[in-house]
Amino acid sequence: MANIQVGWREWVSLPELDIARIKTKIDTGARTSALHAFFVEPYEVNGRQMVRFGVRPLQKRNSPWIECSSVIHDYREICDSGGHREMRYVIYTPVRLGEHIWPIEMTLTNRDTMKFRMLLGRSALAGMIVYPDQSYLFGRLNRNRQRKAEYPPLLDPRTAFL
């Protein structure tokens, strides 16, 4: 990952979670990356511990929402920037920024009240150069494209699990 230059916020995608675009704060103060999850449900498949969760990738919006699933890597106590401790599920998933793709460790937490639905923490930034006075060095996303083309119609959250 050496010599990748990023601004303090960027658009990334999480291809294995089918999240085409999510605005992300590059957060060198956070060790671990965090993803907004508005419900988190552990379950088991063939002896593997899994987690199902919903993601609202667009800030200040309740739709679209995406149902995701991943293998649970860990369940640990995380201390947020306000000093509050919370038990969170931890997953591994690839993140894509421009043409760069690499695996990251990410915790799942409700970030509805936060400005960004995702934080990219310093463990995912190894070898990168962060320019705190720059934004979207990999390009801005057109709002109409963001709302229409990037996200297919999704299930109604009230009936998704019936």
Question: What CATH number is given to the structural domain containing 56?
Answer: 2.40.70.10
Question: Position of tokens 């799942």?
Answer: 108
Q: Is residue 39, in this structure, part of any structural domain at all?
A: yes
Question: What is the four-CA torsion angle of 101, 104, 110, 111, rounded to 10 degrees?
Answer: -60
Q: Does residue 70 have a pLDDT over 70? A: yes
More confident residue, 142 or 46: 46
23 CB-side CA count, 13 A = 18
Query: Residue 117 belongs to what domain range?
Result: 5-147
Q: Is residue 89, in this structure, part of any structural domain at all?
A: yes
Q: Is residue 154, in this structure, part of any structural domain at all?
A: no
Q: Does residue 159 have a pLDDT over 70? A: no
pLDDT, tens digit (0-9, with 9 covering 90-100), for 92-103: 999 999 999 999
Among 58, 71, 52, residue whose Cα is nearest residue 19? 58
Looking at the 3D structure of the chain, how many domains does it have?
Answer: 1
The rounded distance, in Å, linking the Cα atoms of 53 and 109 is 10
Q: Is residue 157, in this structure, part of any structural domain at all?
A: no
pTM above 0.85, yes or no: no
Residue 12: exposure state from Cβ atoms within 10 A (0-12, 13-18, ≥19): buried
Q: Is residue 68, in this structure, part of any structural domain at all?
A: yes
Q: Does residue 6 have a pLDDT over 50? A: yes
Q: Is residue 106, in this structure, part of any structural domain at all?
A: yes
Size of the chain in residues: 162
